Amino acid sequence: MLKEVQLPIVGMTCAACATRIEKGLNKITGVEEANVNLALEKATVKFDSEATNVDQVIHKIQDLGYDVLMEQEEAAISHREKELEKQKGKFIFSLILSFPLLWAMVSHFEFTSFIYLPDLFMNPWFQFSLATPVQFIIGKQFYVGAFKALKNGSANMDVLVSLGTSAAYFYSLYLSIDAAFGSGGNMPDLYFETSAVLITLIILGKLFEARAKGRSSEAIKKLMGLQARTANVLRDGNEQEIPLEEVMVGDIIYVKPGEKIPVDGEIIEGRSALDESMITGESVPVDKTVGDPVIGATINKNGFLKMKATKVGKDTALAQIIKVVEEAQGSKAPIQRLADKISAIFVPIVVGIAVATFLIWFIWVDPGNFAEALEKMIAVLVIACPCALGLATPTSIMAGSGRAAEFGVLFKGGEHLEMTHRINTVVLDKTGTVTNGKPQLTDIFVENDFSEVEFLQLVGSAEKQSEHPLAEAIVSKITENGIDLVDVAEFEAIPGYGIRAIVNNHEILVGTRKLMKKYDIEFETAAEKMVTLEESGKTAMLVAIDGKMAGIVAVADTVKETSKAAIKKLKDMGLEVIMMTGDNGLTANAIAKEVGVNAVIAEVLPEGKAAEVKKLQALGKRVAMVGDGINDAPALAIADIGMAIGTGTDVAMEAADITLMRGDLNSIADAIYMSKKTIQNIKQNLFWAFGYNTLGIPIAAIGLLAPWLAGAAMAFSSVSVVLNALRLQRVKLDQ
């Protein structure tokens, strides 16, 4: 049985760490897939529970030198905040000790010679006493990380930092001892400030990075904050306020004006307008009355409601939304693969370049000048940290998918976020997507000897057994007119054709021309009337009773107010828009003409929709299928991108790559726009990360970059990548 677990990991410092854990987990027997997200500091592992278990996964992570937090999400956040405070304390301690060393270093430049420099600051042993705590107390985390990495046969940022700072520290210590006890006696050029200032700057960079990464997961925190904390529940005949966690399915809940709906449910008494903007992104309050579903975390604006809980805990729409956003933020986009491959071999290559730099300087550029060659080597080691490379993609995915969720667009994974902007063809299901999906019975045409009441009673009784939206419209109107329905002896739904039933000993057929032909029913007399109805955009259904044509019933589904403008927007973006429906061609073309769609695929059976999508793909088109996520599931699955439009039920979310919570076609353009902006952001980050290392390493190698400047540049590179990703949180849908 396939299971999935998310594990918060402590101790990762760069992309090489994430790659090493990922490789290690993927080697475990039974692990299907393991993704490690450096920005979220989480591992997402899919595994066969019969072949392995969570304990083995955790044990492997610990063997690799990292820890796993097994607390709840809030506890994990608390742990990260404590770690942040600890790092802040280390930075302050390191800054105090490094400041005199930095003062001494800055005073050596010609343009700063006017700065007063106490003699004590130049004393080698004074510098040693300041640099040693920084090197081994503050810098202990780098040594520990480097040891664990090397023990497992790999290298990471800690190896580079440890090598660089240790070289500067121990060489300075050697010079100090030689000056004190050797034959030299002269004041040597020391590099204690190089190691101490480097460590201080790297700790500062990590602080900035951690703060920025915390902001990039704001979407999850906001969604969690939407939940009500308590609910007023009817228990033992009394109204009681209880914690949200104690609400059970079937509980009767009272919701006063201004309060949040605590869980998903159904109204059993009262009416009100509900603000659903926090869930769907739709700003206009929605009127609700008895029988209507309500979503947890939405706000009751003005009426008293009595509701019955239908979904609680992890089953609520909000919980499902949080789950989808978390999975998207923790997933890996295909564009990240290149960065992962480079990160895996990056550190050993950099160490090789650093050694080569030392030898070239020591042997050829400045022969015999050990200090100069060492300084250049340290600069190369420090500037080449692959942190920015590891953060470039996941931070953008986190920020982009989180911002999209605020607009009611839920991407199921990073790969879908990357693919969406590439689509060039949008296929729209008609009912419930282009139209409101709430058809009404508009026309009744009766032939032969049946009265209208008897005709409607037989049709309504037969259709009552069907779950099709058109059947519901017919039954609703008939019962509203006071016509009693009777029991059905037999019933058969024929997908794509219609229904067959036995009612009061009469065989009833209701459906398409194909259904009539299937049962050899003559319908020429009704054909002209049917065409007229269809040309006006109505769906007409032929009715046969006891093998003879008996009449027509027609229903009309109103077009959504936003459909026409949304389709124009898609066409303006250069997309080909196609409407696909099971309706006949005349009705489909009438609706398509109304909303501005030029291409129509009509009379498609449910199982044929996936085949139609395949045909489009065979023509080289990248197809987004937009439907309700249930009836269109095969087509949604086969399309390059499947978009479920509607209220975001768990069924719809499972069927589609993207859920459009607003139920509005404008969300399609929003999804494409957010995908485009996110991929642009990722490319900017990768360009900066690759460019930084491509330019920085040669500059350091030729001696144009002091080690402390290299450390500052390295810290800035990671922070800049995260800050650039955070710009996605301010994206506005004004494209």
Q: Mind listing the pLDDT tens digit for each residue in 121-132?
A: 888 899 999 999
Closest alpha carbon to 6 in 56, 48, 52, 40: 40
pLDDT bin (cut points 50, 70, 90) of residue 344 is low
* Residue 252 confidence (pLDDT): 94
Q: Which residues neighbour 13 within 8 Å (Cβ) at sequence distance 6 or greater?
A: 145, 156, 157, 158, 387
pLDDT of residue 357: 94
375 CB-contact burial (10 Å; exposed 0-12 / middle 13-18 / buried 19+): buried
Confidence of residue 571 (pLDDT cuts 50, 70, 90): very high
Which pLDDT score is estimated for 647?
53
* Helix H or strand E encompassing 161: helix 157-181
- Region class of 216: left (phi > 0), else alpha (psi between -120 and 50), else beta: alpha
Find the length of the chain.
735
Average pLDDT over residues 239-260: 92
Query: Encoding tokens for residue 342?
Result: 């480079």
How many C-beta atoms lie closer than 10 Å to residue 110's C-beta? 5
| pLDDT, position 649 | 47
Averaged pLDDT for residues 508-515 = 92
pLDDT at 166: 87
What's at 4, amino acid-wise? E
Position 270 pLDDT exceeds 70 = yes
Residue 546 annotated among the catalytic residues of the structure: no
Q: Mean of the pLDDT values across residues 356-363?
A: 94
Asked if residue 660 has pLDDT above 80, the reply is yes
Percent of the chain at pLDDT > 70 equals 89
What pTM does this model have?
A: 0.72
Choosing from 429, 583, 628, 657, the catalytic residue is 429
At residue 648 the predicted structure's pLDDT band, cuts being 50, 70 and 90, is very low
Q: pLDDT grade, residue 566 (50/70/90)? A: very high
Q: Is a pLDDT exceeding 80 seen at residue 620? A: yes
In order of 260, 327, 671, the CA distances from 332 in angstroms are 35, 10, 18
| For residues 390-394, average pLDDT | 77
Give the mean model confidence (pLDDT) for residues 406-423.
88
Token reading at 591: 């609706």
pLDDT band at 343 (very low <50, low <70, confident <90, very high): low
Residue 716: pLDDT band by 50, 70, 90 thresholds?
confident
CA 224, CA 201: separation in Å to the nearest integer? 35
Q: What is the pLDDT of residues 40-52, one digit of tens each?
A: 788 889 999 888 9
Pairing of strands 31-37, 42-48: antiparallel
What average pLDDT is seen over the chain? 84
Query: 185 with 197: CB under 8 angstroms?
Result: no
Question: Which runs of consecutive H residues, i.e. helices, occur in 237-360?
Answer: 277-280, 317-330, 336-360
Q: What percent of the chain has pLDDT over 90?
A: 31
Question: Is the pLDDT higher at 122 or at 622?
Answer: 622
